[in-house]
Structure 1
Amino acid sequence: MRSVLGAILAGGRATRFGSDKALALLDGTTLIDRVAGRLRPQVDALIVVGRTHVDPPGVPDRPAPDLGPLGGIAGALHHAAAHGYDHVLSVPCDAPALPGDLRAILDAAGDAAFLDALPVVGWWPVSAATVIDRLLSDDGSRAVRAFADAIGAVGCRTGQPIANVNTPDDLAQLGRSPNAPVPR
């Protein structure tokens, strides 16, 4: 049985949103708390990457802040390696309606997988930490898909699209129908 660390990526600037979207409220609950509630039953432990946080505990992006989601995934992979986990299941702080079988979907796809429609949702082996370090030290692409390609990760789909909140309008629309995807 794989030991899995759940990682909520929350270090972004939220420029399109205009304020800290991790703390934005949806029906009285912050987005980050909603994501934690959906992810916690699917993993062995949970962290928040890219910000100070108490529960779940926060860890820094690696090697520095402002490297986008790849810096958050790198921080999670290194934290997982230091604490004896085999895999990291990464999700963004702005996807509050994650499926309850997300871990099973990604695990069934292989040793490394991600969601085609939202690649920051990923299933990453801890052994990939050296690859992500190399990508972050080069002047190349810092896209999650570049990392996924470099480690041979498989793109997969869920039964329905996952809502991703980028603007206040996205949040308002999600509030009207919490399980519906926000159109892009």
Structure 2
Amino acid sequence: MGSKARLCGAILAGGQARRFGSDKAQALVDGERLIDRAIAQLEPQVSELIICGRRLPARTCVADYPEPGLGPLGGLAGALHYARRRNMRAVLSTGCDILNLPADIADRLSGDGAAIVAELPVIGCWPTALAGPLDRFLDSGGRSLYAFADMIGAKRITLPEPLVNINRPEDLERLRQCA
């Protein structure tokens, strides 16, 4: 699945950021908004980039599906439906809060299988054929991205460097202290 051709990049950015306390996508790291950083990391690896769960000027934005408030799964479902309508083969997803998405994550998540995900499954390569199974999972009350990945038999990979995920203001403060 690693080739850039017909690969839709999706930044899952519709979360409520309860643990963060404010709009996480707008938080600054080294003067750059987290969402802009995610765009810069993912866009070179895909043929088209979308933002899921929020509006962002000058960007293709896709609503969570079937409705807002379903967490990352709603964003992923919206992305899978969008990509399937556009005849894309897969969605390469990430959250807006991952600071160190590898520049070769599309290649690392390539291969055969239902899906291939990193240790944080918000980072994954999801064939568009999973739109239907994800709809059924959501209809049955499923809300966990981990549980969906397990249900479909997603292959998990471990990246050589641990991912830096910003969930709380303290995570940003630790980064500033280490700099």
Look up the match of 2:134.
132
Q: 1:101 deviation in Å?
A: 1.1
Look up the match of 1:4.
7
SS in 2 for 1:48: strand
CA distance in 2, matches of 1:131, 1:177: 42
Count of residues in correspondence between the two structures: 176
Q: 1:86 deviation in Å?
A: 0.4
1:2-39 deviation line (CA, Å, top 9, x unaligned): 51000000010111111001011111110000010011
Q: 2:152 matched to 1:147? A: no
Q: 2:61 matched to 1:61? A: no
The residue correspondences of 1:1-184 to structure 2 (distance < 5 A) are 2-108=5-111, 110=113, 112-116=115-119, 118-139=120-141, 141-177=142-178
Contact persistence 2:114–2:152 (CA under 8 A): no
| Identity percentage of aligned residues | 47
CA distance in 2, matches of 1:177, 1:38: 22
SS in 1 for 2:110: helix
Q: 1:109 deviation in Å?
A: 6.3
CA distance in 1, matches of 2:36, 2:89: 25
* Change beyond 3 A, Cα 1:124–1:170: same
Q: Which runs of 5+ in 2 are unaligned?
A: none
SS in 1 for 2:97: coil
SS in 1 for 2:121: strand
1:65-124 deviation line (CA, Å, top 9, x unaligned): 0001111100000010111110001100000211111111111464511112x1111110
CA distance in 1, matches of 2:33, 2:62: 19
Contact persistence 1:32–1:96 (CA under 8 A): no
Q: Which runs of 5+ in 1 are unaligned?
A: 179-184
SS in 2 for 1:123: strand
* Change beyond 3 A, Cα 1:9–1:19: same
Q: Which amino acid aligns with 1:127?
A: A
More deviation in 121-130 or 50-59? 50-59
TM-score (normalizing by structure 2): 0.92
Contact persistence 1:23–1:30 (CA under 8 A): yes
Root-mean-square deviation (CA, aligned residues, Å) is 1.5
